[in-house]
C-alpha cells in the first residue's frame, strides 16, 4: 500500500494514497461537515460545506473530491473556511421553510414536548405520553387540571378553527395511567451519596425532589403542615384537584425514594444552620408565597374578616368557618376566584368580588372569572373598600363601606392608577369578608437564626435568588417557585424548581451545568399574523372535543370535581386534531445542527415565509415536505433501487433549486432508506410522528425478526416504546439495507392484541389466570399424560423465530423433562 | 437442509451473502428473493448490474426473470428433470470439472448412470424447456474457470420431492466444481430469521443439537453426562407427522411455541381435526392465534424486542438479539417459561440469563465452540467457529467437504403427488409478497404495510383468465379436493399458463385449506407449491 503523509489541523497523518481529504479526515476522527456526501456517488450540485483550506492554494477546495497528497497542509476550520460555510448555510436558511419546534412547545413555560405527547395519545400510547410529560413536569395531574394553558393560546389550529385542548389531553393520560395502575418505572441514576434538604412540600419542593432523586441524590422534604402538597392542597380545593388524585400524584414522586418530614416548621424545628450541620450538601427553599398582603382599612381586624390563604387552608383542613349568608371577596387575582367559588360551595348565598378596576384588568385568568360567574359569583368592579364596621343589628354582621373608582391619567410607565371619586361612598352589608390582595413569601424577614435573618429579599417580599444559578446569598442555599417569583401558575413553579434542581446537581457534584438547549428555531411564523394561511390547505374544520363538565348549578352545591375528564375516544379524537407543526426530524436534522454549530443568525438571514409546495402524502409509508428540502440529493443517491428522482426546473441566482420535484418510481420498495438519509425533515416516515427533543433515546442493536437474511437493525427506544427502526451502513451482513418490513413492520411489538396474562380453559372458555396456576396445571397434565401413555404421547413444536437459546431449551425440555424426541419446528413449513 | 447434509456433510448455506458480488454467474432457482429475502435479492440485482450473468429457473416471471440473461420457465415441479438434464449436457459436452470430481467427490459413476436418460428431448417433455435453452443454461452454469453461485428458496424445497431437488442441485455444483470458493456455492435461503439456529440447536426429531444423529451413542453419552439424565434414543416424529399420530391416538399432548398450524399447515382442516382430538394443548405465543384459541393453556410470550439471545441467519452468522423494551403485562421470554415449567416437572433448569444457556450450547456444539456473546458483541460470527481464536467461516468446504468427500446422490424425476386432471385442471402455488410475512400476525399490525399490501389476489395468467371468462378483480372461488377459498383475481403473466399463485399471508384467505399434506420422504416438508385446483367465478 502506498501512503501519503499530510497535515490536517496541525496533526501529521499517514494515509492510504488515493483517498480524498474528507475520507482521510474521517478515518482520523476529524469531522468535516457535509450535506451531500454519499460514498462513491458524488453529487451533481455539491453542497460545498466540506470545503477546506490547503496551504499554497488560493481557492478553498472541496474535501470530498480533493485527493489527499503528500505534504499537504490542510486546515478544516480556518476563518476563511468558516466564513464560506456560514455563507452556504445562510443561503439555505433564507428559504428553508418549516417549524423546528411547534409553537405550543415553545410557549410552554415548562418546555414540555407537547406535540410529542399529543402524538403518543393519537397512537394510543398513553403511558409513553405521560412518561414524556414527566420528563419535564412531575405534576401532570395537578397541572392538567389547573394550568392556565399558555400553550393553547399559541396553537396554530386557531387559524383553522379552535386550538387543540392540550391540557385536557395531559390530564387524560395522567388519569388513564392512574386508573390502569401503570408504574412508569422512571429511571434513577446511581446513588451519588449527596443529601439534599428541600424546605416546603408544595409544587416547587416536590418537583425539585423528583428531579434531584432521579439524579441519584438522597432528598428529604421538610414540610410544616401535616400533609404534603402546599398550594396544591391548601390553595386549590377538592373541586379543582380531588384529594385522591393529589395523593396519588404525590405518592408517585415519593415512590422514587424521597424522604419526608412532616409538621416540621422552619425556624422552630430546624434552621438552615441545623440542616447544614446535619450534612445536607445543599438546601432548596420552596416555601411558596403563602402570606397574604394585609388588608389595611379601618376595622379590618374583626372575627369575620379573613385573609384568603387562611380561609382556604381552613376549608382544606375541613374546618368550616361560619361565613354567614353574604360574603365579600376583596381582590381580583386567581386566589380570589378560588375563595369566591369556595364560599359559594360552602353555602354562602351571596358572594361578591370587589375590585378597583375593570373586569378585563383583573389579574385572574379570564377562564377562572367566567367559571366563578357561572356558579353565581357577583362582581362589583371599579370600587374599593374604605372601612369595615360592625353592622350591629341591621340584618348582617358587617358593614363594608365602599367608594367608586376611576382610573387616573397614565403615569410615566403608561399605567393608569385607580383614583377614588369623592362622594360616591356606598355601603354593602355582608356577614364575612375575605381579602386576597396578593401573596408574599414572607411578611417581614425569615426567622430562626442568623442565616435566616440574612436572607436577601426583594422589594415585594420574595426571596432574592440568582436567575441563572437559583442560589440565594447564602452558599449552598437555593430557592425557587413562588417563594422567589411571588404567586405564579403551578407550571411556572415546576420550571423554576426543575432549573434549581439542575443547578443544585451541578453544585453538589462540582460540575458545570448542562448547556441549555439552543434557541435556534426555524418557524413558519412567530405570530399568527405571520403565518401564511396556505399552510392549512386541505385541513378540514373539526371543532375541539368539549370537556364533560357538571352544570354550574349542580357543581356549585358540592366540592366534587367540576370537570370530569375526556373519555379515551375523545382524547384520541382530540389528539388527531393536532397539526403536528414541529419537525419530526428535529433530532436528526443536519441543517439545524450545522446552523447551530456555525452560529447562523436567522434574524439576519431570514427564512422561508410561506409554503411553496404542498406536502405529499401519496407514498404509503413516507411523507414528503419539499419546503424543507435543501437539495443535497442524498435521498436519490443512497437509494439502492434507483427508485427516487429528485429534480429542479431551474436554479435561482444563489444556486437554490426552483420548481423542485421528488418522485418515487414504481420500483420503489418502500424500504425507507431515503428517509434515514435525509439532511432535514423533507422526508419523514408516516408512522414516526413523535418529535424527539432532548429526551433520552436508547439505540439498541439487534437482528431483524423476519426472514433469514439476518439484517442488523437498530431499535430506537424512548421510554418503553420502540419509536423507529434504522440500520448501520457499516454493519454486516446488510450494510444499512433493510426491506419495508425491517424498517417499518414493528408496530406489532406494542400492539394492543398482545397476550399479557396466561390463559387457562375453564368450562370450555379461555380465561385469564396466574402464572402459578397455569404452570402448575400444565406440569400436572404433562406428568399425567406421561404416566398414562408414556413420554412419546407428548410432542413439541419449537419455533424458527425464537432465539437459539429458546430452541435449545425447548428441545432440552422435551428430551429431559418429557423424555421424547418428538420435537420439531416449522422450518420446513 | 436434510439433503445438503447428505451431499456435503452440512446442510447450511455454503457461502456468504456478500460473496455474490464476486460471482461471475448467479443461478437463482425456486427463489423470488425480492419478496422473500429482499436485502439478498437487492445484492443479486446489484451483482447483475455490475456484470454478473443471471440464470433464472422459475415457473413464475419474477423480478429476476425480467432481468435474467437466461430464464427457464419450466413446468412446476419438474426441477429434478431439468437439473439432471443440465448434468447430462455438461457431461456430454465435457464441461465438468474433472479434477474436482476426482479429488473431492464419490459416487460419480452413479450420477452418470442415472442422468444418462435425461437427454434434452426427454427433459423437454417433462419440463417444457427446449434443448436450446437447456444447453445454454448448462453451458452458462458450467462455465469452466468461472465462479458460479446457486441460490434457492422454498420454491425448490416445498415439494414432495424437495430433497431430491436439493440433492440434484448439489450434484450439479459438485460436478462443475463450484464449491469451496467465494462467489460460488450452493445457497439455500432460509425463510425465517432463525431456521438455521433452530436446526443447529437440535429442535429436530431426528438429531440432537449440533446434528448428532440419534444413532450416535457417543453424542448421547456426552449429552447425558452434561445434562445428568437418561435421554430417549427412539426416533421422534416430525411436525408434519404429528397430526396423523394424534388422529391415530398415539399422541395426546402437544406443546406449541410460536406456531399457528391452524393457518400454516398444509391441508389445515387435517390439523384442526387433530387438535380437536388432543387431550391437552399448550400454546406459547405473542398473540392469541387461531391455534391458541383452541388451547387448554396459553402462555404469553415476549417478542424479539423484549428479550436477549441470538439468532443464526441463513449465512450461518450467529448474531445477537437484544432486549429493547419490557414485555407487555405479565408476558415472559420463552426461555424463562421453559425454566419454570421444567423445574416444576422435576428437572431443574436454573438459568439467570440467555447467555448462560448459550455458554452451555457452545460446550455441546462443535460448530459453535469458539463463539461467545463477547465475540459477537459488535459483528456476528459465521459457524463453524471451532475455537476462541477462529475468525469464523464465510465459505464452507474449502479444500474438502465437511464430511470429507462430497457424495453424488442422483435421483430420478418423480412427478408431483397431485397433478391437474379434468376435475381440477389448474395448479395452485403459494407465494410471498414483500411487505407481508408468513401469516401476517406481525406485519399486519403496521398500517403502512397494510396500505402496501392489503389483500390476497389470485394471480392468474391472461390466457387462463380469458378461457375462464375472468376479468381483473373479479371475485373467484378456488377449490381443491380439500377445501375452498374466495378472493379477487389479478390478471398477470407473472403466473404461468395453467398455474394460479396466491400469497399465504392473509387469514381471510386461508390458502392452506387447499394445499396438500403430501410430505417429502426425507425431510418431511410439505408440498406447498403444487396442488390441483379448479376455479369458478363468484356471481355477485
Find the residue in B nearest to A737 (Cα): B39
Question: What is the model's pLDDT at position B235?
Answer: 87
Cβ(A754)–Cβ(B328) below 8 Å: yes
* Span B218-243, average pLDDT: 88
Model confidence pLDDT, tens digit, residues A737-749: 999 999 999 999 9
Question: Residue B298 and residue A791: Cβ atoms within 8 Å?
Answer: no
Whether chain B has a CB inside 8 Å of the CB on A699: the answer is no
Looking at the fold, whether B441 and B325 belong to one and the same domain comes out as no
Average pLDDT, rounded, for chain A: 94
Distance from C-alpha of B12 to C-alpha of B7, rounded to nearest angstrom = 11
State the pLDDT at residue B522. Answer: 60
Q: Does residue A125 sit at the B interface (CB-CB below 8 Å)?
A: no
Residue in B46, B305, B321 nearest the CB of A722:
B305
| Exposure of A2 in the CB half-sphere (CA atoms within 13 A) | 6
Model confidence at A28: pLDDT above 80: yes
A 173-202: CB under 8 A from B: 185
Whose CA is closest to B160, among B504, B522, B500?
Answer: B522
- Identify the weakest region by mean pLDDT among A354-363, B255-264, B388-397: B255-264
For residue A724, is pLDDT > 50?
yes
Q: Judge: A739–B38 Cβ closer than 8 Å, yes or no.
A: yes
Residue A644 has pLDDT above 90, yes or no: yes
Chain B environment of A737 (Cβ under 8 Å):
39, 42
Shortest distance, CA A641 to any CA of chain B (angstroms): 8
Same domain, yes or no: B112 and B170: yes
Q: Tell me: pLDDT of A829 over 50.
A: no
CB B253 to CB A785 under 8 A? yes
Helix axes of B79-92 and B131-142: crossing angle, nearest 10 degrees: 70
| A 773-812 near B (Cβ less than 8 A) | 774-779, 781-783, 785, 789, 791-812
Q: Are B300 and A758 in contact (CB < 8 Å)?
A: yes
In this structure, are B84 and B116 located in the same domain? yes
Cα dihedral across residues A762, A765, A766, A767: positive or negative: negative
CA–CA dist B398, B10 (Å, integer) = 13
Q: Which of A342-351, A504-513, B437-446 has the lowest mean pLDDT?
A: B437-446
Tens digits of per-residue pLDDT, B145-180?
999 999 998 878 777 678 888 999 999 999 999 999
Least CB–CB distance from A816: residue in B227, B257, B318: B227
Give B338's contacts in chain A (Cβ within 8 Å): 806, 809-810, 812-813
Do B180 and B209 belong to one domain? no
Please give the residue range of the domain that contains residue B529: 426-537
Domain ends where: B319, B347, B382? B382
- Judged by CB atoms closer than 8 Å, whether chains meet at B36 and A717 is answered as no
Does A103 have pLDDT greater than 80? yes
- The Cα–Cα gap between B478 and B486 comes to 6
Say if B507 falls within a structural domain: yes
Please check whether residue B420 lies inside any domain of the structure. no
Closest C-alpha among A551, A552, A549 to residue A566: A549
For B326-376, how does the pLDDT look when each residue is reduced to its tens digit (9 = 90+)? Answer: 999 999 999 999 999 999 999 999 999 999 999 999 999 999 999 999 999
Q: Is the pLDDT of residue A126 over 80?
A: yes
Domain identity same for B63 and B163: yes
- Per-residue model confidence (pLDDT) at position B2: 61
> What is the rounded distance in angstroms from the CA atom of residue A435 to the CA atom of residue A293?
9
Close Cβ partners of B66 (under 8 Å, ≥ 6 residues apart) = none
**Chain B, nearest residue to A794 by Cα:** B253
Q: Are residues B332 and B455 in the same domain?
A: no
**Residues B175, B199 share a domain:** no
User: Does residue B405 lie in a domain region?
Assistant: no
Q: In the structure grid, which three cell numbers stand for residue B75, read together?
A: 413446468
Q: Does the beta-carbon distance from B318 to A742 stay under 8 Å?
A: no
Whether B194 sits inside 8 A of A804 (CB atoms) is: yes
- Residue A434: what are its φ and ψ, rounded to 5°? -125, 130
Looking at the 3D structure of chain B, how many domains does it have?
Answer: 3
Do B346 and B203 belong together in one domain? yes
Q: Mean pLDDT across chain B, nearest whole number?
A: 91
CATH code assigned at B181: 3.40.228.10
Angle between helices A114-122 and A126-134 (to 10 degrees): 170
Q: Is A766 on the interface with B (CB under 8 A)?
A: yes
- pLDDT-derived band at B213, boundaries 50, 70, 90: confident
My answer on whether B100 and B226 are in the same domain is no
Q: What is the mean pLDDT of residues A120-148?
A: 94
CB pair distance less than 8 Å for B322 and A701: yes
Q: How far apart are CA A34 and CA A47, in angstroms?
A: 7
Nearest CA in chain A to B522: A828
Contacts of A137 (CB under 8 A, 6+ apart): A110, A112, A143, A207, A491, A494
Task: Tell whether B156 is covered by a domain.
Answer: yes
Mean pLDDT (whole number) for A540-557? 92
Cα gap B83→A7, rounded to integer Å: 60
What ipTM was predicted for this assembly?
0.94
What's the DSSP call for residue B514?
T
Residue B83 lies in a domain: yes
The CATH number that applies at residue B451 is: 2.40.40.20
Instruction: Give me the count of residues in chain A.
Output: 829
**pLDDT of res. A391:** 81
Q: What angle do CA A398, A400, A402 make, to 5 degrees?
A: 175
Q: Are B202 and A808 a contacting pair at CB < 8 A? A: yes
Cβ pair A468, A462 in contact under 8 A: no
What lies within 8 Å, CB to CB, of B361 at 6+ separation is A804, A805, A808, B201, B209, B368
Largest CA distance in chain A: 111
CB pairs under 8 A between A and B: 468
Residue ending a domain, among B382, B413, B444, is B382
The whole-angstrom separation of Cα A509 and Cα A205 is 20
What is the band of B402 on the pLDDT scale with cuts at 50, 70, 90? confident
Query: Which cell numbers in the block locate residue A643?
Result: 427508485
Same domain, B11 and B67: yes
Q: Is residue B395 part of a domain?
A: no
Question: Nearest residue on chain A to B380, judged by CA atoms?
Answer: A732
- Residue B355 shares a structural domain with residue B210: yes
Using pLDDT thresholds of 50, 70 and 90, give the confidence band for residue B269.
confident
Q: What is the CATH number of the domain that holds B376?
A: 3.40.50.740
Interface touch A710/B319, C-beta < 8 Å: yes
> What is the model's pLDDT at position B521?
63
Residue showing cell 398582603:
A293
Mean pLDDT for B77-86 is 94
A702-721 residues touching B, CB cutoff 8 A? 702-712, 715, 717, 720-721
Sort out which chain B residues have CB atoms less than 8 A from A670's CB and list them: 435, 448, 452
DSSP B10-62: --S-SS-GGGGGG-SEEEEES--HHHHSHHHHHHHHHHHHTT-EEEEE-SS--
CB contact under 8 A, A813 and B319: no
The domains located in chain A, with CATH, are 3-77 (3.10.20.740), 101-185+515-582 (1.10.1060), 187-290+441-513 (3.50.50.60), 294-437 (3.50.50.60), 612-750 (2.20.25.90), 759-828 (no CATH)
Give the nearest chain B residue to A669 (CA atoms): B434
pLDDT, tens digit, for every residue of B482-510?
889 999 999 999 999 999 999 988 888 88
Q: Which residues of B touch A126 (CB under 8 A)?
A: none
Would the pLDDT of A350 be above 70? yes
Closest residue in chain A to residue B350, using alpha carbons only: A809
- Interchain contact, B204 vs A825, CB within 8 Å: yes
Work out the minimum CA distance from B96 to partner chain A, whole angstroms.
31
* Count of beta carbons in the 10 Å neighbourhood of residue B220: 17
pLDDT of residue A510: 95
Our CA-based measurement puts residue A688 at a distance from the nearest CA of chain B, in whole angstroms, of 11
Residues of chain B in contact with residue A813, where contact means CB-CB under 8 angstroms, are 338, 341-342, 347, 349
Mean pLDDT for A637-646 is: 94
Positive or negative: CA dihedral A656, A657, A662, A665: negative
> Would residue B309 count as lying in a domain?
yes
Q: Do A707 and B299 touch (CB under 8 A)?
A: no
pLDDT of B523 above 70: no
Of B232, B250, B314, the CB nearest to A708: B314
Inspect the interface and report whether the beta carbons of B333 and A806 lie closer than 8 Å.
Answer: yes
Rounded alpha-carbon distances, angstroms, from residue A551 to A344, A375, B150: 14, 9, 76
Say which of B46, B287, B297 has its CB closest to residue A760. Answer: B297
| B21 and B105 fall within a common domain | yes
Establish if B485 belongs to a structural domain.
Answer: yes
The whole model's pTM is what?
A: 0.89
Angle, alpha carbons A764-A767-A773 (nearest 5°): 105
Amino acid at each position: 500500500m502506498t501512503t501519503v503523509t499530510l497535515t490536517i489541523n496541525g496533526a501529521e497523518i499517514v494515509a492510504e494514497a488515493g483517498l480524498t481529504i474528507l475520507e482521510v479526515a474521517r478515518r482520523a476522527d476529524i469531522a468535516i461537515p457535509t450535506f451531500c456526501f454519499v460514498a462513491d456517488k458524488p453529487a451533481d450540485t455539491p453542497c460545498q460545506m466540506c470545503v477546506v483550506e490547503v496551504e499554497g492554494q488560493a481557492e478553498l477546495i472541496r474535501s470530498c473530491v480533493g485527493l489527499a497528497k503528500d505534504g499537504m497542509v490542510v486546515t478544516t476550520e480556518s476563518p476563511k473556511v468558516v466564513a464560506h460555510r456560514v455563507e452556504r448555510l445562510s443561503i439555505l436558511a433564507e428559504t428553508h421553510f418549516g417549524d423546528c419546534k411547534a409553537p405550543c412547545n415553545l410557549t410552554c413555560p415548562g418546555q414540555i414536548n407537547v406535540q410529542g405527547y399529543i402524538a403518543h395519545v393519537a397512537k394510543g400510547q398513553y403511558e409513553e405520553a405521560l412518561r414524556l410529560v414527566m420528563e419535564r413536569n412531575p405534576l401532570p395531574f395537578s397541572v392538567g387540571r389547573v394550568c392556565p394553558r399558555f400553550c393553547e393560546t399559541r396553537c396554530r389550529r386557531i387559524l383553522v378553527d379552535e386550538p387543540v385542548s392540550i391540557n385536557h389531553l395531559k390530564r387524560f393520560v395522567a388519569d388513564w395511567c392512574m386508573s390502569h395502575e401503570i408504574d412508569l418505572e422512571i429511571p434513577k441514576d446511581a446513588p451519588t451519596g449527596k443529601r439534599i434538604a428541600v424546605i416546603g412540600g408544595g409544587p416547587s419542593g416536590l418537583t425539585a425532589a423528583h428531579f434531584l432523586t432521579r439524579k441519584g441524590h438522597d432528598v428529604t422534604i421538610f414540610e410544616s403542615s401535616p400533609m404534603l402538597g402546599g398550594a396544591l392542597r391548601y390553595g386549590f380545593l377538592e373541586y379543582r384537584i380531588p384529594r385522591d388524585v393529589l395523593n396519588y400524584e404525590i405518592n408517585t414522586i415519593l415512590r422514587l425514594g424521597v424522604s419526608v418530614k412532616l409538621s416540621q416548621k422552619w425556624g422552630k424545628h430546624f434552621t438552615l444552620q441545623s440542616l447544614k450541620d446535619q450534612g445536607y450538601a445543599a438546601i432548596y427553599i420552596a416555601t411558596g408565597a403563602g402570606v397574604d398582603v394585609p388588608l389595611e382599612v379601618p376595622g379590618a381586624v374583626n372575627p369575620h374578616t379573613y385573609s384568603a390563604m387562611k380561609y382556604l387552608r381552613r376549608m382544606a383542613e375541613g374546618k368550616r368557618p361560619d361565613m354567614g349568608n353574604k360574603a365579600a371577596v376583596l381582590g381580583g387575582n386567581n386566589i380570589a376566584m378560588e375563595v369566591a367559588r369556595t364560599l359559594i360551595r360552602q353555602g354562602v348565598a351571596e358572594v361578591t368580588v370587589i375590585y378597583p378596576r375593570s373586569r378585563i384588568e383583573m389579574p385572574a385568568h379570564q377562564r377562572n372569572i367566567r367559571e366563578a360567574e357561572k356558579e353565581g359569583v357577583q362582581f362589583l368592579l371599579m370600587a374599593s373598600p374604605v372601612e369595615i364596621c360592625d353592622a350591629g343589628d341591621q340584618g348582617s354582621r358587617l358593614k363594608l363601606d365602599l367608594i367608586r373608582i376611576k382610573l387616573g391619567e397614565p403615569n410615566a410607565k403608561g399605567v393608569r392608577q385607580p383614583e377614588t371619586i369623592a362622594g360616591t361612598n356606598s355601603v354593602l352589608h355582608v356577614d364575612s369578608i375575605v381579602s386576597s390582595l396578593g401573596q408574599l413569601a414572607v411578611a417581614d424577614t425569615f426567622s430562626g437564626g442568623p442565616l435566616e435573618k440574612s436572607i436577601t429579599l426583594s422589594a415585594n417580599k420574595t426571596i432574592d435568588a440568582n436567575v441563572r444559578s437559583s442560589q440565594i446569598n447564602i452558599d449552598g442555599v437555593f430557592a425557587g417557585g413562588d417563594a422567589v417569583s411571588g404567586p405564579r401558575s403551578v407550571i411556572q413553579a415546576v420550571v423554576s424548581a426543575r432549573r434549581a434542581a439542575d443547578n443544585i446537581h451541578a453544585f453538589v457534584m462540582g460540575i458545570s451545568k448542562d448547556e441549555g438547549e439552543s434557541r435556534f428555531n426555524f418557524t413558519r411564523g412567530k405570530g399568527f399574523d405571520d403565518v401564511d394561511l396556505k399552510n392549512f390547505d386541505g385541513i378540514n374544520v373539526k371543532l375541539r372535543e368539549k370537556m364533560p363538565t357538571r352544570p354550574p348549578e349542580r357543581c356549585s352545591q358540592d366540592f366534587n370535581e367540576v370537570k370530569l375528564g375526556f373519555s379515551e375516544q375523545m382524547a384520541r379524537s382530540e389528539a388527531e386534531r393536532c397539526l403536528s407543526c414541529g419537525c419530526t426530524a428535529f433530532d436528526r436534522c443536519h441543517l439545524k445542527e450545522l446552523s447551530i454549530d456555525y452560529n447562523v443568525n436567522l434574524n439576519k438571514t431570514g427564512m422561508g415565509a410561506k409554503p411553496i409546495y404542498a406536502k405529499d402524502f401519496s407514498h404509503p409509508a413516507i411523507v414528503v415536505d419539499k419546503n424543507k428540502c435543501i437539495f443535497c440529493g442524498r435521498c436519490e443517491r443512497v437509494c439502492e433501487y434507483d427508485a427516487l428522482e429528485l429534480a429542479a426546473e431551474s436554479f435561482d441566482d444563489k444556486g437554490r433549486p426552483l420548481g423542485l420535484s421528488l418522485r418515487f418510481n414504481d420500483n420503489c420498495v418502500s424500504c425507507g432508506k431515503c428517509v434515514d438519509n435525509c439532511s432535514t425533515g423533507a422526508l419523514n416516515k408516516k408512522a414516526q410522528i413523535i418529535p424527539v427533543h432532548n429526551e433520552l433515546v436508547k439505540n439498541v442493536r439487534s437482528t431483524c425478526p423476519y426472514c433469514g437474511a439476518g439484517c442488523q437493525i437498530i431499535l430506537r427506544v424512548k421510554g418503553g416504546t420502540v419509536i423507529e427502526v434504522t440500520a448501520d451502513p457499516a454493519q454486516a451482513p446488510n450494510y444499512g439495507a433493510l426491506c419495508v418490513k425491517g424498517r417499518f413492520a414493528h408496530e406489532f411489538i406494542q400492539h394492543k392484541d398482545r397476550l399479557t396474562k396466561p390463559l387457562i380453559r375453564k368450562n370450555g372458555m379461555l380465561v385469564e389466570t396466574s402464572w402459578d396456576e397455569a404452570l402448575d396445571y400444565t406440569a400436572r397434565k404433562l406428568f399425567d399424560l406421561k404416566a398414562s401413555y408414556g413420554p412419546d404421547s407428548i410432542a413439541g413444536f419449537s419455533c424458527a423465530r425464537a432465539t437459539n437459546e429458546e430452541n435449545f431449551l425447548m428441545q432440552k425440555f422435551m428430551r429431559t423433562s418429557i423424555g421424547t424426541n418428538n420435537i420439531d419446528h416449522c422450518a420446513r413449513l | 437442509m436434510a439433503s445438503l447434509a447428505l451431499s456435503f456433510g452440512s446442510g447450511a448455506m455454503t457461502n456468504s451473502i456478500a460473496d455474490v458480488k464476486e460471482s461471475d454467474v448467479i443461478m437463482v432457482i425456486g427463489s423470488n428473493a425480492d419478496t422473500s429475502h429482499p436485502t439478498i435479492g437487492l445484492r443479486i440485482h446489484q451483482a447483475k448490474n455490475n456484470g454478473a450473468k443471471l440464470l433464472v429457473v422459475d415457473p413464475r416471471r419474477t423480478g429476476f426473470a425480467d432481468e435474467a440473461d437466461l430464464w427457464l420457465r419450466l413446468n412446476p415441479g419438474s426441477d429434478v428433470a431439468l437439473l439432471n438434464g443440465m448434468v447430462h449436457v455438461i457431461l456430454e459436452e465435457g464441461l465438468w470439472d474433472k479434477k474436482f470430481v476426482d479429488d473431492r467427490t464419490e459416487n460419480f459413476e452413479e450420477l452418470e448412470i442415472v442422468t444418462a436418460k435425461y437427454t434434452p428431448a426427454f427433459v423437454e417433455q417433462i419440463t417444457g424447456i427446449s434443448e436450446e435453452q437447456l444447453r445454454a443454461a448448462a453451458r452458462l452454469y458450467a462455465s469452466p474457470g468461472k465462479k458460479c453461485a446457486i441460490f434457492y428458496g422454498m420454491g425448490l424445497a416445498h415439494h414432495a420431492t424437495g430433497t431430491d431437488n436439493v440433492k440434484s442441485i448439489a450434484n450439479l455444483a459438485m460436478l462443475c466444481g463450484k464449491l469451496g470458493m467465494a462467489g460460488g456455492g450452493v445457497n439455500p435461503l432460509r425463510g425465517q430469521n432463525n431456521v438455521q439456529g433452530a436446526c443447529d440447536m437440535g429442535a429436530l426429531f431426528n438429531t440432537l443439537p449440533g446434528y448428532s444423529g440419534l444413532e450416535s451413542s457417543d453424542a448421547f453419552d456426552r449429552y447425558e453426562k452434561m445434562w445428568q439424565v437418561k435421554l430417549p434414543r427412539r426416533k421422534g416424529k416430525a411436525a408434519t407427522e404429528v397430526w396423523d399420530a394424534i388422529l391415530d391416538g398415539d399422541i395426546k399432548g402437544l406443546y406449541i411455541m410460536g406456531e399457528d398450524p391452524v393457518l400454516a399447515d398444509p391441508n389445515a382442516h387435517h390439523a384442526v381435526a387433530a387438535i380437536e382430538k388432543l387431550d391437552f394443548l399448550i400454546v406459547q405465543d405473542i398473540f392469541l392465534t387461531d391455534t391458541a384459541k383452541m388451547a387448554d393453556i396459553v402462555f404469553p410470550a415476549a417478542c424479539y424486542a423484549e428479550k436477549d439471545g441470538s439468532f443464526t441467519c441463513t449465512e450461518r452468522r450467529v448474531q445477537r438479539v437484544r432486549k429493547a423494551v419490557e414485555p407487555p403485562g405479565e408476558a415472559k421470554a420463552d426461555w424463562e417459561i421453559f425454566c419454570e415449567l421444567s423445574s416444576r416437572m422435576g428437572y431443574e433448569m436454573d438459568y439467570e440469563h440467555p447467555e448462560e444457556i448459550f455458554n452451555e450450547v457452545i460446550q455441546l456444539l462443535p460448530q459453535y465452540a469458539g463463539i461467545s456473546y463477547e465475540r459477537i458483541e459488535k459483528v456476528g460470527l459465521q459457524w463453524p467457529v471451532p475455537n476462541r481464536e477462529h475468525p469464523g467461516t464465510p465459505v464452507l468446504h474449502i479444500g474438502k467437504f465437511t464430511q470429507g468427500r462430497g457424495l453424488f446422490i442422483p435421483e430420478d424425476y418423480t412427478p408431483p403427488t397431485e397433478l391437474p386432471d379434468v376435475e381440477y385442471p389448474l395448479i395452485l402455488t403459494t407465494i410471498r409478497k414483500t411487505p407481508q410475512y408468513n401469516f401476517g400476525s406481525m406485519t399486519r399490525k403496521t398500517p403502512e404495510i397494510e396500505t402496501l399490501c392489503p389483500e390476497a389476489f389470485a394471480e392468474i395468467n391472461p390466457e387462463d383468465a380469458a378461457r375462464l371468462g375472468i376479468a381483473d378483480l373479479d371475485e373467484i372461488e378456488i377449490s381443491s379436493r380439500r377445501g375452498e377459498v374466495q378472493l379477487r383475481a389479478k390478471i398477470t403473466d407473472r403466473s404461468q399458463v395453467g398455474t394460479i399463485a396466491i400469497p399465504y399471508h392473509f387469514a381471510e384467505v386461508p390458502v392452506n385449506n387447499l394445499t396438500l399434506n403430501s410430505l417429502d420422504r426425507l425431510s418431511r416438508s410439505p408440498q406447498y407449491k403444487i396442488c390441483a385446483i379448479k376455479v369458478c367465478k363468484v356471481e355477485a
